[in-house]
Amino acid sequence: MRPSTLRRLLRRVATTAALVLVTATPSTVAAVQPATAAGGLQQVTGFGSNPGNLRMYAYAPANLSADAPLVIALHGCTQTADDYYTNSGWPKYADLWGFAVVFPQTSSANNALSCFGWFDPAEDTRGRGEAASIVQMVEYAKQQYGSDARRVYVTGLSAGGGMTADLLAAYPDVFAGGSVASGLPAQCATSQSAASGCQTGPLKLTPAQWGDKVRGSYPGYSGPWPRVAIWQGTSDYTVYPANATALRDQWTDVWGIGQTPSSTDSLPGNTTRSVYDDASGRPAVVTYSVSGMGHGLAVAPGPGTDQCGTTAAYFLSAICSTYHTGVFWGLDQGAPGGGEQLPAPSGLRVASVTANSASLTWNAVPGAASYTVHRDGTKVASPASTTYTDTGLTAGTAYRYTVTAVDGSGTSGTASPPVTATTTGSAPARCFTATNYAQVTAGRAHTTGGYVYANGSGENMGLYNVFVTHTLKESPAGYFVVADSGCTAG
């Protein structure tokens, strides 16, 4: 028996004996079959030497324009590429916004539970194994679809999320952004025996130590770094919420921006979004904490633009994470229209603010028929002029705006650099009830020596775990106090 064959056999035996992200019965493992091209999903062969023994499936909308973005979507354990294609919602936005999606697939030949090898240096490091196969798929897609090399993104669930973090660390020159859903920090484990320990609670490392794991994955690389979204359910007992905190620490350290959020707000599905801006005021790292959600990818079935997916095993009804991830990456701002994109409007500034409004102005773009205004990544208006007043806002709250020019065919150009408008007055108090893990993950508290302390007030909330629950009251923004005896918003 060849040494390489023996190593693969040993990995399969070890995985069967240990927990790797998803616990499965023998019948569950036996049910994992290779994906069949369904609908628009097509298998691609001959994409490279394929050292990781993966299969490549792809979905490309009709009339896909050249230089469109490319998304790589990695399934979780016991899943297939077809599962992810069918339930995640990515094909919907590929059609709506115009980009191709590649769905890599591993199998039981690599791992007994069909998990990507996020814990194996032979599979998840630069130039080796499954990671190298996925990058070969990227190169193939760039040639086949004309995908823009500057706009390649990777996302994954569970083991796919762990591999996503490893890919962002090993190939920051390939991926402009990533999204880790119920996953692990980059290089959390480097052996099978260490994998389960990462799932239930990663090493208690400092942000700098976590960041060093990224910097050590591609020595000598100094940026630019990928922009990273982190999705986590607060009731996930397969990959514990502490992993989201470690991911936040890891990537904010890589960006050099600290672990205090620039802003925090609430989204549908009991989701708290915490944004960590880079030095230019643009979101670099965003965490999405879904209160009460277990282990899986957040979806929200429905016909709305911000609704997507189908509920199934490990696809959980809460919020369309795919939509918000795509908006964070800017996929919604460059939909194809057949012509060259207009440049970004210059001179965007905040002309004035009140307690419930913000007025913007910017310079005209030649050839623009209208403009699109985005507030915190969501489209809010399409004015024909170079001014816009946004109303119905909350007092004492910061909002981020970008503007794009739109030509006569409806094609949106490049987004402007963001500006922040802060309304006058005092923001109403907000109340958050969650476990200590969830409070830290959402950026409302921090850890020191195994204990949790409220941001701002510094009040001791007890041990850093998922069993202690507190209510925090926020007022003013960023200042939290323990309010277990009663919390009234407003």
347: its two tokens = 């001179």
Q: What is the value of pTM for the model shown?
A: 0.67
pLDDT tens-digit readout, 399-432: 889 898 887 767 777 788 888 898 998 777 889 9
Mean predicted confidence (pLDDT) in 148-164: 97
- Kindly indicate the confidence band of residue 220, based on its pLDDT and cuts at 50, 70 and 90: very high
Q: What pLDDT is attached to residue 320?
A: 97
Contact 371, 345 (CB under 8 A): yes
- Of the two residues 19 and 208, the one the predictor is more confident about is 208
Q: Quick check: helix, strand or coil at residue 164?
A: helix
Angle at 180 between CA 298 and CA 276, to 5 degrees: 100
Check pLDDT > 60 for residue 241. Answer: yes
Per cent of the chain over pLDDT 90 is: 66
Q: What pLDDT is attached to residue 279?
A: 82
Distance between CA 97 and CA 278 in Å, rounded? 26
Q: What pLDDT is attached to residue 490?
A: 60
Q: How far is CA 364 from CA 260, 340, 386, 411, in A?
A: 36, 17, 6, 16
pLDDT tens-digit readout, 79-132: 999 999 999 999 999 999 999 999 999 999 999 999 999 999 999 999 999 999
- Kindly indicate the confidence band of residue 482, based on its pLDDT and cuts at 50, 70 and 90: very high
- Of the two residues 323 and 488, the one the predictor is more confident about is 323
Weakest mean pLDDT among 52-61, 135-144, 336-345: 336-345
Q: What pLDDT is attached to residue 340?
A: 55
- Of the two residues 301 and 15, the one the predictor is more confident about is 301
Mean predicted confidence (pLDDT) in 337-364: 84
Catalytic positions are: 158
